[in-house]
Amino acid sequence: MDESCKICQNAQDNRFHTAREMSFGLRDQFIYLECGHCGCVQIVEIPSDMQKALWEKFLTVTSVGGIGAVTRAPIGATRAIPETRRLLEQCMKEVFAIARSREIALADTIVADSMTFIDTLAADGTTSLQRDIIDGKPSELEYWNGTVVRLAREQGVAAPTNEFIYHSLLPQEKRARGVDASSP
């Protein structure tokens, strides 16, 4: 592990901090360096293929968040019920198809690998999208499933499950944002 600051190259009196990603519910662990000289905080290990890393996360969070928001059920229930488990997998397959159409090098096993990861999550886990939708607050719907729908359209890829999620939750999202959804 590189123990020097990427900004000023200082290697003295640096401190390391471990943080877990919590907003998507994946709880990935990251190590950050706090420079003892210039005080900046920076991630220690940057993924070598950032596009791939972002799409891997996007595939999981949009699927778990979207299905969770529509079903109003925690991940333990959605992964245990065969019908909702298939919906999770279908959401991921749609995102995978979009990524492939954009030449993002996701592994052929990404959906199976993501489902294996999802099977390790706490049964009562939910995403921020799901919680915000349930609580009637503005959410990341547009940035998650809305983006899947938009990118699918741009790439000419079918994404019917994500379209259903996005279109089903859109009235609630508009209401949370104070937009009158009763008129076109």
User: What string of pLDDT tens digits covers the 184 residues of the chain?
Assistant: 678 888 899 999 999 988 876 554 456 677 888 999 998 988 888 778 888 988 998 999 999 999 999 999 999 999 999 999 999 999 999 999 999 999 999 999 999 999 999 998 899 999 999 999 999 999 999 999 999 999 999 999 999 999 999 999 999 999 999 998 776 6
The pLDDT value recorded for residue 49 is: 85
CB atoms within 10 A of CB 182: 8
Strands ordered across the beta sheet of 29-34: 15-20, 29-34, 41-43
Residue where the block lists tokens 């959410």: 139
Contact 32, 16 (CB under 8 A): yes
Distance CA 18, CA 34 (A): 11
Q: Running DSSP on this structure, what letter comes out for residue 115?
A: H
Give the rounded distance of the alpha carbon of 90 from its chain centre: 15
The pLDDT value recorded for residue 30 is: 78
Q: Residue 88: name the closest of 145, 171, 20, 172 by CA.
A: 145
The pLDDT value recorded for residue 179 is: 92
Q: Residue 42: name the closest of 21, 26, 19, 24 by CA.
A: 19
The pLDDT value recorded for residue 26 is: 52
